[in-house]
């Protein structure tokens, strides 16, 4: 349930509402917007149903929330959330671009990629050090050495780091090197990992599961937020459908759905979303037009030699072309890039 306070409600009115909710053994979540203050009520449904709050001074109305996810929902927090990721705002007016190789392979590869993406305006360096590969015989990543390389190279080029975490026991190591911890599609419902990330202080980029519904994805974010970490960024990366021309089917309607249902930012990954480098630019443009808050794009200095996802990786030249075209679309959307 949410309690919507009247625009002129006093601090005392609000305190009395919170006191009554907490006295019933329930939790509150406060959202103070420019116009209205909303108190979210979390806890036992039966106790919530019996709470008489609408008669308290300063209360405009109470609204029952039927969805299981609460903290991620726009009902609880009507205004957009802006997340500070290493000093870069995600979910604000600027469309944030994250780019880099699928996997960290070597210092030279990462430096070349970082120089290229920085020169075109990317704010984040992406790259996997712990790779969740479909086959155990494929390159599994450089592990902690890869994280160290990411941090060193990102600092050299004044970029932030986003990288995928696959094991909850590695959170402390990741927090040392990364600005944003990515949960990959394959781990979207790894609830132990999500719960552990709820206790962590870094923002989480939560990719959509391979065949996850919007509701399952929102509930996955709720796991992180209910643990105390409210810094969640959604990432649409395509879902499994009957289509085989593309690696996945990029569901850009998810951007509109998430914007309607949640206050959290959403970025789009047109690289995994299509699996084909030629389709990355058109889908990146469409993502911004659909209202995405950012993009995460695979860029490799030599895609033909990439140890993973070469087919969907842009060359530095193709990435530069893409970035040239995005400014106009961001502008039409009233945003900067």
Which of 96, 98, 105, 97 has the alpha carbon at shortest distance from 303? 105
Looking at residues 174 to 233 of the shown chain, list those that interact with ligand PEP (rule: CB under 6 A). Answer: 184-186, 207
* CB 77 to ligand PEP: min, Å: 26
Q: Which of 212, 182, 178 is nearest to 194 (CA)?
A: 182
For residue 249, the minimal CB distance to Mn ion (Å) is: 17
**Nearest distance, CB of residue 136 and Mn ion, angstroms:** 17
Task: Give the x/- contact pattern for Mn ion in 77-116, rule: CB under 5 A.
Answer: -------------------------x--------------
In this structure, what token pair is assigned to residue 299?
Answer: 């860029």
| Residue 150 near residue 76 (C-beta atoms within 8 A) | no
Chosen residue from 118, 237, 259, 285 binding ligand PEP by CB under 6 A: 237
Q: What is the DSSP string of 25-86?
A: T-EEEEEE-SS-EEEEEES-HHHHHT---TTSTTEEEEE---SS--TTBTTT--SPP-EEET
Q: Out of ligand PEP, Mn ion, none, which partner does residue 300 contact, by CB within 5 to 8 A per kind?
A: none
Nearer to Mn ion, 118 or 131 (CB): 131
Binds 237, which of ligand PEP, Mn ion, none (CB < 5 to 8 A, cut-off by type)? ligand PEP
91: partner contacted, choices ligand PEP, Mn ion, none (Cβ within 5-8 A by kind): none
Chain residue at closest Cβ approach to Mn ion = 102
Pick the closer one to Mn ion by CB: 222 or 309.
309
Length of the chain: 337
102 binds ligand PEP (CB under 6 A): yes
Interacting residue with Mn ion among 309, 314, 319, 322 (CB under 5 A): 309
269 near Mn ion (CB under 5 A):
no
Strand partners, 39: 3, 30
Sign of the dihedral through C-alpha 51, 54, 55, 56: positive
Q: Is 272 in the site for ligand PEP (CB under 6 A)?
A: yes
Q: Which residue has the tokens 């990721």?
A: 85
Give the ranges where 227-269 is alpha helix by DSSP (H): 253-261
How would DSSP label each residue in 102-131?
SB---HHHHHHHHHHHHHTT--EEE-BSS-
Does 247 contact ligand PEP by CB under 6 A? no
User: For binding to Mn ion (CB under 5 A), which residues are involved?
Assistant: 102, 309
User: For binding to ligand PEP (CB under 6 A), which residues are involved?
Assistant: 102, 128, 132, 164, 184-186, 207, 237, 272
């Amino acid at each position: 349930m949410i309690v919507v306070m009247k625009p002129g409600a006093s601090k005392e009115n609000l305190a009395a509402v919170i006191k009554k909710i907490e006295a019933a053994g329930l939790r509150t979540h406060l959202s103070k917007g420019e116009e209205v203050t909303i108190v979210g009520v979390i806890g036992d449904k039966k106790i919530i149903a019996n709470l008489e709050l609408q008669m308290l001074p300063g209360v405009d109305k109470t609204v029952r929330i039927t969805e299981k996810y609460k903290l991620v929902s726009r009902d609880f927090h009507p205004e957009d959330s802006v997340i500070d990721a290493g000093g870069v705002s995600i979910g604000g007016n600027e469309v944030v671009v994250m780019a880099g190789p699928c996997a960290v392979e070597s210092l030279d590869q990462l430096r070349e990629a970082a120089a290229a993406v920085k020169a075109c305006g990317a704010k984040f360096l992406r790259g996997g050090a712990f790779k969740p590969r479909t086959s155990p015989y494929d390159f599994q990543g450089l592990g902690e050495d890869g994280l160290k390389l990411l941090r060193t190279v990102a600092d050299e080029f004044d970029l932030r780091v986003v990288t995928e975490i696959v094991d909850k026991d590695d959170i402390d190591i990741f927090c040392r090197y990364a600005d944003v911890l990515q949960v990959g599609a394959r781990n979207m419902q790894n609830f132990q990992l999500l719960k552990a990330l709820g206790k962590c202080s870094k923002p989480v980029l939560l990719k959509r599961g391979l065949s996850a519904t919007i509701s399952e994805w929102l509930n996955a974010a709720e796991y992180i937020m209910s643990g105390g970490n409210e810094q969640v960024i959604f990432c649409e990366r395509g879902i499994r459908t009957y289509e085989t021309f593309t690696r996945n089917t990029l569901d850009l309607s998810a951007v509109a759905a998430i914007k309607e249902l949640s206050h959290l930012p959403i970025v789009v990954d047109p690289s995994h979303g299509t699996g084909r480098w030629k389709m990355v630019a058109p889908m990146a443009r469409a993502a911004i037009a659909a209202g995405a808050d950012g993009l995460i794009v695979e860029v490799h200095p030599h895609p033909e030699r990439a140890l993973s996802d070469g087919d969907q990786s842009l060359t530095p030249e193709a990435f530069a072309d893409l970035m040239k075209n995005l400014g106009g679309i961001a502008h039409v959307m009233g945003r900067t890039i």
